[in-house]
Amino acid sequence: MKFVMLPKVWEEPAEELEAAGHERVESVDDADFLFFSGGAGDLPELPKNIRFVQTTYAGMDGLAEAGLLTDAVRWANAGGLYADTVAESTLALMLGAGHLYKFATARASWSTQDEAQEKTDFLFHDKTVAIVGAGGIGRRLIELLEPFGVRVVAVNRSGRDVAGADEVTTFDELGEVWGRADYVVLLAPLTEETRGLVGKKELEAMKDSAFLVNAGRGGLVDTDALVEALRGGAIAGAALDVTAPEPLPDDHPLWGLENCLITPHVANTIPMMHALTGRLAVDNARAFEAGEKMPTEVDPKAGY
């Protein structure tokens, strides 16, 4: 098949697609499928010759919010492709929050030792971790958490078993999870159902010793409610790779909170995307040509 890459050409994936027998063309009007690496504003009007779109992101919320994620064309995302990198980053956020790295570096003083002695939290010490959105990344995180001996509560839509989890529950039953978890880890996609999933009520239901970790989407959390909870001690701390708004303005109060560790949406990075997406695009194209469902095919109505 012929493919076009927009808004920019990614050489590594292009080489893999060409090695698999596909031909790169310059115009969307000449292509059978689009390898798309941009945001909603970069998506061109899709001519009828485009049979499917391969995006380089796992999240489809930006396209959905712009009204571009329609069933006029088939879509494939990068769901699960970045499980290793995002799970590693999520574990780092958990450890950084529990070990008070932001607190110590913000103070830039050895005088933090006494308080850190009292408040440092160890995953090894009888902890329960709730993973909200226990898909591919969540399953990989469970594997990384295994040596720590934590109790894992996996939360998904279906309630189906999740390998390595001690128990599985659904989003509908989240109400009883907030108060049991020492770490609430958000890895869910952003949909109409999950937007604002964590607000004032949920934060107040959490333990005052608990940590909120978000490596999913910023819109899962009510940011104003989180600021209030962190300032008032409703929870011990937060660690965020994603925020709402995003980018987070330099003068936003979250930056100044000693109990809020923030990384700038780098749980996965563009160099890793370049390295990994070619093989996925090849696999999806092969399935499409065979008349099969693509490995990461997206349901436009569900948004993922």
Each residue's pLDDT tens digit, 167-219? 999 999 999 999 999 999 999 999 999 999 999 999 999 999 999 999 999 99
179 domain-assigned:
yes
User: Domains in the chain: how many in total?
Assistant: 2
Determine the structural domain holding residue 8 and report its residue range: 2-80+269-298
Q: What percent of the chain clears pLDDT 70, i.e. is strictly above it?
A: 100
How many helical (H) and strand (E) elements, i.e. helices and strands, does the chain have?
A: 10, 12
Ordered DSSP codes for 95-154: HHHHTTHHHHHHHTSGGGHHHHHHH---TTTT-EEEEES-SHHHHHHHHHHGGGT-EEEE
Selection from 4, 12, 5, 3 nearest residue 270 by Cα: 12
pLDDT at residue number 303: 86
Pair (38, 128) in one structural domain: no
Tens digit of pLDDT for each residue in 64-107?
Answer: 999 999 999 999 999 989 999 999 999 999 999 999 999 999 99
Pair (293, 221) in one structural domain: no
Average pLDDT, stretch 226-239?
A: 98
Catalytic residues: 217, 246, 265
Answer whether residue 15 shows pLDDT above 90. Answer: yes
We report the CATH number of the domain holding residue 278 as: 3.40.50.720
64 domain-assigned:
yes
Query: Which pLDDT band holds residue 304 (cuts at 50, 70, 90)?
Result: confident
How many C-beta atoms lie closer than 10 Å to residue 142's C-beta? 21
Average pLDDT, stretch 47-64?
A: 95
199 domain-assigned:
yes
Pair (139, 280) in one structural domain: no
Contacts of 281 (CB under 8 A, 6+ apart): 3, 13, 16, 17, 35, 54, 76
Buried b (16+ CB within 10 A) or exposed e, 208-235: eebbbbbbbbbbbbbbebbbebbeeebb
- Tell me which H or E stretch contains 46: none
304 domain-assigned:
no
11 domain-assigned:
yes
Backbone angles phi, psi at 248, to 5 degrees: -75, 120
pLDDT at residue number 6: 98
